[in-house]
A and B are shown apart, each in its own frame.
Chain A
């Protein structure tokens, strides 16, 4: 990997980090468990590593933005996540911020 590739990869990861959080919060307005959430995001063009997503879910839950619940589905215990009330408030604020940034960047281009 060249220096330019590395630089691009670092900047890309930096750019994606915040966007992924927003995307996960948006998607979790309805309930998902880890694997189906990953598929849902990938179906909408946002591919994300398993380990990145699962650890992100745990972090967001620790921060109080998500709630989770173990439940049986297809004869298997699965952990389902969804946005908490606090998470909804934060998501609304983040979404506003996203629109401001998006409009601003679009105006530059």
Chain B
């Protein structure tokens, strides 16, 4: 039957080279026997349509051939949990080390800029992909070694054979995020201390020494003056504190202090970036200038430049830390929500 020959030829093309003829001979005889049975039941040869239907039932050649292949996977179920753990750990440490190295490189270049920071951020996916590639290749090699030479290698660290309860980490101190309800006293104390903090902040314009201590007197006597942007920055901070205080009061009023939304700290961290961006938006990066440039430029000009450069670097660093912390918190909340969702589904 020509159709059967064509079918077997198609199957053969997808079979492993080793044992190909043997598999083909067996498959042919089995299918021919089946065909004979069908034909003797009908009392006539199969029509083309019937033969096509029959071979459709047997399955597509690629699928039939695939069943003769050994089960193939890069990393098997016994190694996968360790691989996944190592991959996550590698991602975390790569991100930390890369952030530190990039920050050092950017500041060491002498002219740190937003562009350099953005470039460093854009390189992160490539770095992480590289890490994933090397971890995966390493574990694929381990899987190969364990599968093909099981007697030559001891059990992997962390594998069930090596595991012992004594290696479990000690209990973590403190409540797990978002699981322990806050007490009323805790919530009320937050409001009280929020009011005190706001009052203290509001007194600073009249009494700068409340913030700077003896430095306030020095600043007044020094040839340096703070730029107007610091005033805007100060009132943005006041606004943020006021907003937080109002939010806490609403919690107390509505009785929702026990489990405040986990989104709130995220929202405040996002708002917290605003004053930093405000400071960074200053034209020519001038946060401190001379009171009498005509008189003091020669003597203090270089010092003012160094102070402004230092402020710029510190602001960039703080900005990077806040953004990283924000991303971490968002990731943490997302993972917690996902876990709760999965737990609810089960």
On A, residues with C-beta under 8 Å from B are: 33-36, 38, 49-52, 54-55, 58, 76-79
Within the complex, the shortest CB–CB distance from A53 to chain B, in Å, comes to 9
A6 and B247 alpha carbons, distance in the complex (Å)? 48
Known: A50-B58, A79-B26, A79-B29. A35 touches B34 (CB 8 A): yes
For the complex of A and B, 8 pairs with smallest distance between CB atoms: A55-B67, A35-B33, A34-B30, A51-B64, A35-B30, A51-B67, A79-B26, A55-B68
Quick check: B26 and A54 within 8 Å, CB to CB?
Answer: yes
Chain B residues contacting A38 (CB-CB under 8 Å) are 30
Among the listed A36, A52, A76, which residue makes an inter-chain contact with B67, where contact means beta carbons less than 8 Å apart?
A52
Chain A residue with Cβ nearest B23: A58
Given A49-B59, A58-B23, A77-B25, A33 and B30 contact (CB-CB distance below 8 Å): yes
- A36 to B29 Cα, complex, angstroms: 11
Which residues from 42 to 95 on chain B have a C-beta closer than 8 Å to any C-beta of chain A? 58-59, 63-64, 67-68
Chain A contacts for B30, CB-based, 8 A: 33-35, 38, 50, 54
Contact, CB under 8 Å: B67 / A77:
no
The chain B residue with its CB closest to the CB of A39 is: B37
Contact indicator A51/B63 (Cβ below 8 Å): yes
- The reply to whether the CB of B27 lies closer than 8 angstroms to some CB of chain A is yes
> Does B29 lie within 8 Å of A54, measured CB to CB?
no
Interface of B is mostly: helix
* Interface assignment of B121: CB less than 8 Å from any CB of chain A: no
**In the complex, chain A residues whose CB is within 8 Å of the CB of B31:** 35, 50
Tell me whether B32 is interfacial, beta carbon within 8 Å.
yes
Known: A33-B30, A79-B26. 11 other contacts (CB 8 A): A33-B33, A35-B29, A35-B31, A50-B34, A51-B59, A51-B64, A54-B30, A54-B68, A58-B23, A76-B29, A78-B33
Shortest distance from the beta carbon of B197 to any chain A beta carbon, whole Å: 53
Report the bound CA distance from A98 to B67 in whole Å: 26
Cβ A78 vs Cβ B29 within 8 A: yes
For this complex, 27 residue pairs linking A to B, each with C-beta atoms less than 8 Å apart, are: A33-B30, A33-B33, A34-B29, A34-B30, A35-B29, A35-B33, A36-B33, A49-B58, A49-B59, A50-B30, A50-B34, A50-B58, A50-B59, A51-B64, A51-B67, A54-B27, A54-B67, A55-B67, A58-B23, A58-B68, A76-B29, A76-B33, A77-B25, A78-B29, A79-B25, A79-B26, A79-B29
Residue of B nearest to A50 (CB): B58
The reply to whether A77 and B59 contact each other, CB–CB distance below 8 Å, is: no
**Alpha-carbon distance between A49 and B31 when the two chains are bound, in angstroms:** 12
CB distance from A83 to the nearest CB of B (A): 18
- Give chain B nearest CB distance to A22 CB in angstroms: 19
| Residues of chain A with a CB closer than 8 A to B27's CB | 54
Which residues in A have their C-beta under 8 angstroms from that of B32?
A: 76
CB of B291 to closest CB in A, whole Å: 73
Cα–Cα distance between A52 and B305 once the two chains are bound (Å): 78
CA distance A3 to B25 in the complex (A): 40
User: Contacts of A55 on B, CB cut-off 8 Å?
Assistant: 67-68
Q: How near does chain A come to B153, taking the closest CB pair, in angstroms?
A: 22
Q: Contacts of B25 on A, CB cut-off 8 Å? A: 77, 79
- Shortest distance in angstroms between B97's beta carbon and chain A's nearest beta carbon? 41
Nearest Cβ distance between residue B288 and chain A, in whole angstroms? Answer: 64
Q: Are A33 and B63 also in contact (CB < 8 A) when A51-B58, A58-B23, A58-B68 are?
A: no
Chain B residues numbered 5-43 whose CB sits less than 8 Å from any CB in chain A: 23, 25-27, 29-34
CB distance from B81 to the nearest CB of A (A): 20
Instruction: List the B side residues contacting A58 at CB < 8 Å.
Output: 23, 68
Chain B residues with Cβ under 8 A from A51's Cβ?
58-59, 63-64, 67
Return chain B residues, CB-CB under 8 Å to A76: 29, 32-33
- A79: chain B residues within 8 A (beta carbon): 25-26, 29
Min CB distance A49 to B, Å, is 7
